[in-house]
Chains A and B, each alone.
Chain A
Amino acid sequence: MADSTLKLKKLPDREPPENTIGWIAWIRDNLFSSATNTLTTLIFVYLFYLYIPPFIEWAIINANISGTDRSVCDTNKSGACWTFIKIRLEQLLFGLYFASNPEQTWRPIVAFSVFGMLIIPLVIDKTPHKKWLLIALLTLYPLLFICVVYGGVFGIPVSDTGQWGGLLLTFALSFVGIIVALPLGILLALGRRSEMPIVKMMSVTYIEFWRGTPLITILFMASVMLPLFFPSGVDFDKVVRAMIGITLFQSAYTAEAVRGGLQAIDKGQNEAAMALGMGYWRRTILIVLPQALKISIPSIVNTFIALFKDTSLVSIIGLLDLLKMAQNSSRSLDWNGYDIEGYLFAGFVFWIFCYGMSSYSQKLERKLDTDRRAE
């Protein structure tokens, strides 16, 4: 009987129909699936055709990068003048003090390199001892930054903070703003949800005051109004004033982002922890905050990215951040008229930092996504 056993054999999968695979099908499905989509596609293709080739021609094909002064660019006006960025790179990145003292340029380079060496392992998953790296970044690194960039120790000459500029200043302002505002914001968020009336009232007042005031007003007050209230002879460091203003402002926003996460945590979590006999701080630190922070990562990072870009507002108090530095550099007799290149460069640097923060936060979200997958 064995012979007559019906052998069930799986037929090999057939190829999908010709018209549903390959790039033609992809294009049809994604770009021309309906009349509206076809029209949109055509409009965008036309817009790209209109703007992209001339831009590439200007920015890459015809661009000038050789030479050391504007004569190269003046003879070839059809392309971008990257020579300007090349010659002014140190100014744009480190500000006027480090650009005018070439023997001091190593200081911001060291500061940025150490930051890179700390931050790159931190974002890589497999790095061991991440906790220590993070602690080093938050404690030793600011000290190193002050010693190396500000100077005054080990025979390193002092660089006046008012002379910091370019990316260095943008970086210093946002670094301080981010690392101080996060813990402050968490405390404020907890305070706002606290059952102690005074703490709650103070947190609410603080958050609503700083959130209700435009950053530009805060910076302006810190720079123009504050000195009027102090006796003459009391000297005020403008960069420190800006840092404080930015941090106070930022902590209010971070607090609201964190509070959003806290609201989303089920009451049962807290009650269960209470039932286990945990006190307030253990409940908060071990049960509530880890879950709340995980939820609020996108909005926290969102406020950080906004802060990084907002630092360019310090130009209204006469600090030469990356954007203002690019603007001023292109206003000098050596390069006036090449402001577009300066703006593009500044925009590009801002984009690198913001995109870096954004992609890291997405990675973190995926990694921490242990439950409640929303898809």
Chain B
Amino acid sequence: MKKITSLLTGVAFAGIAFANAAYATTLEEVQSRGELRCGVDGGVAGFSAPNDAGKMVGIDASVCDAVAAAVFGDASKVTYIPLTAAERFTALTAGEIDMVSRNTTHTLTRDATLGVNFTYYNFIDGQGFMVAKDAGLSSVKDLDGASICVQTGTTTELNMADYFRNGGMDFTPVGYSTSVQTREGLEGGACDALTSDASQLAAIRSETADPNAWTMLPEIISKEPLGPVVRQGDDQWMDIVAWTLYALINAEELGITSANVDAMKADSPNPSVGRIVGSEGETGANLGLSQDWAYNAIKQVGNYGEIYERTVEPLGIPRAGSVNDLWTRGGILYAPPVR
């Protein structure tokens, strides 16, 4: 009834409803609300998109799940808020949501001017090119004079122009407003190549009539480190989000999976594992969480490798040896130790 009244007053007074606890920390707010409000895109395959049961799934959505598991011990206590690119930071700074996990590139301008903080990366992307396999191209250098399908108004378009100008090459951009249209353009023969972020290229390829007819060129021409973002000014909350992500990556490095985490907790093979699963040390208390925060995240969501395999791998983005692999296997994912 209270909610109803507040909705009605909301309608009456231009939709203003005063949320309580204006001065509470984000953690306290999240805990008293009983759910995590997590901003996602909601329409990017492998990152966040609704599954048949109506739940958001993907590598971005999994970060929300893991944070909810760390805070509540229950990964299902998340409300996913679909956000457009334009709204994501305002929604966060205005307090509508607790964190953004929406394939957001970490850049200096965003970090320094928008009142937000970037934590760590859950996917490291970069701009690439996709061409027909039978065209026999092996490098972006072969694309001199080519026509290239691109989504207009994106940094992708600017990166490409920079790259070609640097290399002294010519190209004709063929602009479209959505990624679906760029795919149709490429398939329809309107251009020789399609450029977008590598993860998008993989998704686009999986949507073509014959995915095997297309191949990606080896060059990656831009850096797009994507990761969860929090509001500036609440260091504890930033730590919670960052360390949840670190814990998932450390868990993979130490071989802790959702399947064996119970056994590891009962009998930790080494102290590093013990500190993550909560049988040793005070890691949870230092963050303001329970002792089994990381255990819950790993148990309910899986370690980073499991999440990747479940969400991004099916798009056709292999991980072995890529930047998104662990530093021990040739990648650059390097999480500080939980201790």
Contacts and interface: CB of A to CB of B under 8 A. Distances in A.
A337 interface: yes
Contacts of A179: none
Given A152-B1, A232-B94, A334-B51, A244 B42 contact: no
Contacts of B55: 96, 100
Interface in A316-351: 316-320, 324, 327-329, 331-334, 336-337, 339
B174 interface: no
A317 B84 contact: yes
A235 B54 contact: no
B180 interface: yes
Given A96-B54, A236-B15, A152 B96 contact: no
B7 A328 contact: no
A243 B15 CA distance: 10
B42 A237 contact: no
Contacts of A99: 50, 53-54
Given A99-B54, A235-B19, A336-B206, A220 B86 contact: yes
B333 interface: no
B267 interface: no
A246 to B, nearest CB: 13
A316 B84 contact: yes
> Dominant SS at the A interface?
helix
A240 interface: yes
A336 B1 contact: no
A77 interface: yes
Contact of B94 (A96, A230, A336): A230
B183 to A, nearest CB: 9
A162 B314 contact: no
Contact of B95 (A88, A158, A235): A235
Residue among A97, A101, A150, A318 with max Cβ neighbours from chain B (10 Å): A318
B128 interface: no
B146 interface: no
B5 to A, nearest CB: 9
B112 interface: no
B11 interface: yes
A88 B50 CA distance: 10
Interface string A243-279: 1100000000000000000000000000000000000
Interface string B80-102: 11111011001101111000000
A287 interface: no
A227 B2 CA distance: 23
Given A77-B209, A87-B52, A232-B94, A147 B4 contact: yes
B95 A233 contact: yes
Q: Which residue among A163, A237, A339 has the maximum number of chain B CB atoms within 10 Å of its CB?
A: A237
Interface string A25-49: 0000000000000000000000000
A230 B180 contact: no
A158 B50 contact: no
B90 A224 contact: yes
A235 B79 CA distance: 16
Interface string A86-108: 01101100001111110000000
Contacts of B2: 152
Contact of B82 (A97, A220, A318): A318
A120 B71 CA distance: 50
A67 B203 CA distance: 24
Interface in A157-172: 158, 160-163
A329 B50 CA distance: 6
A11 interface: no
Contacts of B87: 223-224, 317-318
Given A234-B16, A235-B18, A160 B86 contact: no
Given A227-B91, A234-B16, A234-B18, 16 more contacts: A77-B209, A101-B54, A150-B3, A232-B94, A233-B23, A235-B18, A237-B15, A240-B10, A317-B84, A318-B81, A318-B82, A328-B43, A331-B43, A332-B51, A333-B311, A339-B207
Interface pairs A-B: 9 shortest CB-CB? A99-B54, A100-B54, A233-B22, A227-B94, A332-B49, A337-B207, A240-B15, A328-B43, A235-B19
